[in-house]
Structure formats: C-alpha cells, structure tokens
Amino acid sequence: MKVRYIIFLMFSFLKGEDLTAEQIIKKIELNPKPNTSVTEVKLEISRYKRNKEKVKIREFTRFQKFYNSGKFKSKSIVRFYKPKIVKGAGLLSWVRNNGSTNQWIFLPKLKAAKEIKAKEKSKKFMGTDFRYEDLENRELGQDSLTLIGHEYFDGSKCEVIMAYPNDLSFYFSRKIWINTSNWQITKIEFYIDEFRLEKTLILSDFIIKNEYITPGLLSMTMEDSKNKTVMTIKSFKPDLGLNDEIFSESFLIKI
C-alpha cells in the first residue's frame, strides 16, 4: 500500500510538471536576451548540379536591439561585406509588440531600400534556402500550437510542437523541437502542406556568453535536393550599446 502511495505521488508530481505548448513557447521567449548585440556570420550556400557541388561564401554583420518599452519589441539590420559582389547589401527588420514585422531590403545596384510586402515574404533571401519569412520572429498568438510529444534529438530530451500559422504564411505548418535543458529550439521542419516537408533547419554548437545563449551553427537542408545553406557564427558580442539611428532606412542605404 505504501509503495502504491509513493508511485501515486511521483505520478502526480510529474503530471503537474507537464507544460502546454503555449507555456513551452513562453519559456523560450523568457530566455535572457542582450539589449543589443553584434554578430559576425559566415554564410555558405551549397548548390548541386550534375552531381557537382558549388559553394558560394558570403559574410555579414548583424546588429540587433531589444526594447523594454514602446511599440517595438526588437530591431535588427544585416549588412553584407564579403565578397565584393554583395558588399553593401542589407536587410532591415522591425518587430512590433503586436507581432507584426516590417522588412526592407537594400541592394547597391537599386540605390534605394525596398519594403518587402507580405506576399513577397515567401521569396528566398539573397539566394539562400532561407525565405524572408524564416528570418522573422514568431510571437505567441501568431500560430495555433499543439504539443505532440517528447523525443530525443542530438542526445537531449525535447518537447515537440506543431505550429500552424494564423496569419498569411508560405507554410502549412512547422514542427519544432525544443531542448528542455535550456529551452532552446534545436530543430525545425517546414511543411508546405500536411504531408510535404520542404526543408529542415538544425541549430547546434550553442554559444554561451554571460547569461545569453545563441546557436553557433544553423544548417538549412532542402528535402528534395542536396542543396543547403549553413550559417556559422564567427563572433557574438552582447550588450555593446547601439544607437537607434542604425536601425533606419537612411542607415540601410549607406554604403
């Protein structure tokens, strides 16, 4: 009888620790974030033709700022500096507290910043396997979430969630693996209909700096080909202090 009572208590405790899909996403959002950061990134775009691989290398700097008040949640700007063919190109993103996002792309040959409309966010960013939509932060309320179970991925226990967009999206759904030891996303599958997987993103080699955690390697692999895009974080510098003027259209078009 005593053994049964102990087992019942253990089961009750574990049951009480179960989280909903929304609570899990909230835990991800509550991870500490630096007020500002500067990240150096190496981009490798692999394309296969006639069983031969061709790799393009790109390098860029990403500046990001989070806000504790006002209408914006965060702003970021990406600036390419290598090779010469893409030098000066950039992407500016504003994320509002209501979850909406504005993005502007700048290509030196256009000599002007172009806002990316909602219907254009399915286009691929700078020839990579990342769509503009993939570069946006999804907020609670933008997706209908379903917790589908627990799995081990890369040796760690993960909660697995299906996310179905409530707003305009190229995707039918995303399947997300969240590591329960640090509440970081480690894998995302992108579906363009209920059964058709388009690509998979793996996040690994996490960098810990001060109290902040960020993936050091992001690898996007297409399902129907060997094509892939790999982002390697060369350096991550948090809390440097960045002026708001950096996150503007006027700064975006400066070369």
Question: Given the structure tokens 């000066």, which residue do they identify?
Answer: 88
* 6 is a domain residue: no
Return the closest-CA partner of residue 36 out of 246, 250, 248, 231.
246
The answer on pLDDT for 5 being more than 80 is no
* 183 is a domain residue: yes
Collapsed DSSP state (helix, strand, coil) of residue 252: helix
Higher per-residue confidence, 98 vs 120: 120
* 15 is a domain residue: no
The answer on pLDDT for 112 being more than 50 is yes
* 53 is a domain residue: yes
Q: Largest alpha-carbon pair distance within the chain?
A: 79
| Amino acid sitting at position 39 | T
Return the closest-CA partner of residue 93 out of 104, 81, 84.
104
Here the CATH number for the domain that contains residue 117 is: 2.50.20.10
The predicted-structure confidence for 144-184, as pLDDT tens digits, reads as follows 999 999 999 999 999 999 999 998 899 999 999 999 999 99
* 115 is a domain residue: yes
Q: What is the pLDDT averaged over residues 43-53?
A: 91
* 63 is a domain residue: yes
* 8 is a domain residue: no
The structure tokens listed for 192 are 């363009």
The C-alpha atoms of residue 91 and residue 104 are separated, in whole angstroms, by 6
The structure tokens listed for 212 are 């902040």
The predicted-structure confidence for 216-225, as pLDDT tens digits, reads as follows 999 999 999 8
pTM: 0.88
Residue range of the domain that includes 117: 21-252
The whole-chain average pLDDT of the chain stands at 90
Query: Confidence class of residue 18 from pLDDT cuts 50, 70 and 90?
Result: confident
The predicted-structure confidence for 36-46, as pLDDT tens digits, reads as follows 999 999 999 99
* 74 is a domain residue: yes
**Domains: count for the chain:** 1
Q: What is the predicted pLDDT for the residue at 17? A: 60
Q: What is the pLDDT averaged over residues 47-57?
A: 91
Q: What is the predicted pLDDT for the residue at 137? A: 82
Q: What is the predicted pLDDT for the residue at 201? A: 98
Higher per-residue confidence, 217 vs 8: 217
